[in-house]
Amino acid sequence: MQALSGEAGGALEDIMSLTPISGRLPADLRNNDPLNKNPRNKVTTASLRERKLQHEPITCLTAYDYSAGRLVDEADIDVVLVGDSLAQAMLGYENTLSVTMDEMLHHVRAVRRGVRNALLIADMPYGSYQIDAHSALSNATRFVKEGGAEVVKMEGGEKRADLIRRIIDAEIPVAGHIGLTPQSVNVMGGYKVQGKTLNDIEQLMRDAVALDRAGVACLYLEGIPREVAAMITAEISVPTIGIGAGPECDGQVLVFHDILNLTFGPPAKFVRRYADAAGLITRAVQEFRADVRSHQYPADEESYHLPKDTKAGLDTVLARKEAMRR
């Protein structure tokens, strides 16, 4: 039976499962969990829907490893997406097409270890769901079973609706992704803003409605005009999460490496840089190098020392040896 409250952190009576989601526990019980230092509520697919109804913006960032996952989670971001953008950001591939299931799973597992409260979404890589429904289902299941993902994401509109229904039937929530879908780069002929003609807008609306009806948990809208994203957001029941899709979306996602200037290239128009991690890292590495080269590192305080007695004994032995040598 389900809790009737749409809230993630309801009163104890609202929690109908005997298997608690730790973040949903009331504060007094939560404090008994020695691992839970952050009393924030666990974000679920239900709480995302509630956010849309309450007009409270949803926050989402990508993360690709334990430390980033942990930092993003502890900064109270609602959704952590292990995007296939890790292909470029972490692995140095030219686009997202090359990244494999095993590579994605490796990163999803690492992020899982760092994330407690945020909803964890794993991107299904190119080739893992396009071939046939059986392999799509088996790959989606791996993300849940082996990776600990709570939702899987796949690109594509109405042509994916049947597949998405089958995956949801297997108890796996699915996030949709339409607009500029990077796995279609060769079909699109580059990374171009989508939905600029009336026909394209109509197709995007059909895609969004089909995925909404198929039961997606949320819908990522990438690289489409703000006006189109606003229409989709108003039309469908599930939250939209935009990237380069304007402010009317129910939530916003950016790539971790983009907001920190770790991408080695000019940012897209929609990227806001919140810090210069590349500059910070470069300066730290250069200072370390200079310190080692100039014998400034390590200092005495950064070295281990012998216990006093051992040192005194060693000094005696060395002095005796020195005396014998003379």
Catalytically annotated residues: 222
Kindly list the distances between the CA atom of residue 15 and the CA atoms of 19, 48, 99, 299, in Å, as whole numbers in the listed order.
9, 17, 39, 56
- Min CB(57)–ligand KIV separation in Å: 16
Among residue numbers 2 through 41, which ones bind ligand KIV (CB under 6 A)?
A: none
- Check residue 250 for interaction with ligand KIV (CB under 6 A): no
Cβ closer to ligand KIV: 44 or 181? Answer: 181
Q: Which of 73, 78, 212, 222 binds ligand KIV (CB under 6 A)?
A: 222
- Check residue 129 for interaction with ligand KIV (CB under 6 A): no
Chain centre to alpha carbon of residue 26: 26
Which range, of 78-86, 106-114, 133-141, 183-191, touches ligand KIV by CB under 6 A?
A: 78-86
Positions of E strands within the chain: 58-62, 79-82, 119-123, 151-155, 174-179, 218-222, 240-243, 251-254
Q: Which of 243, 249, 259, 260 binds ligand KIV (CB under 6 A)?
A: 243
Cβ closer to ligand KIV: 224 or 255? Answer: 255
Q: Which residue is nearest to ligand KIV (CB)?
A: 83
Other CB atoms within 10 A of residue 107 CB: 25
Cβ closer to ligand KIV: 90 or 167? Answer: 90
Burial class (CB in 10 A: 0-12, 13-18, 19+), 63: buried
Partners of 62 in beta bridges:
81
Cβ closer to ligand KIV: 163 or 255? Answer: 255
Q: Give CA–CA dist 311/305, Å, rounded.
A: 9
- Check residue 261 for interaction with ligand KIV (CB under 6 A): no
Which range, of 28-36, 44-52, 83-91, 102-110, touches ligand KIV by CB under 6 A?
A: 83-91
Block residue for tokens 């950001």 = 89
- Check residue 128 for interaction with ligand KIV (CB under 6 A): no
- Check residue 249 for interaction with ligand KIV (CB under 6 A): no
What would the two tokens of residue 44 be?
């679920």
- Min CB(109)–ligand KIV separation in Å: 17
Contact 271, 254 (CB under 8 A): yes
Tell me the number of residues near ligand KIV by CB under 6 A. Answer: 11
Residues 6+ apart with CB under 8 A from 25: 12, 15, 33
Q: Which of 121, 253, 259, 260 binds ligand KIV (CB under 6 A)?
A: 253
Burial class (CB in 10 A: 0-12, 13-18, 19+), 185: middle
| Contacting residues toward ligand KIV, per CB under 6 A | 62, 83-85, 123, 177, 220, 222, 243, 253, 255
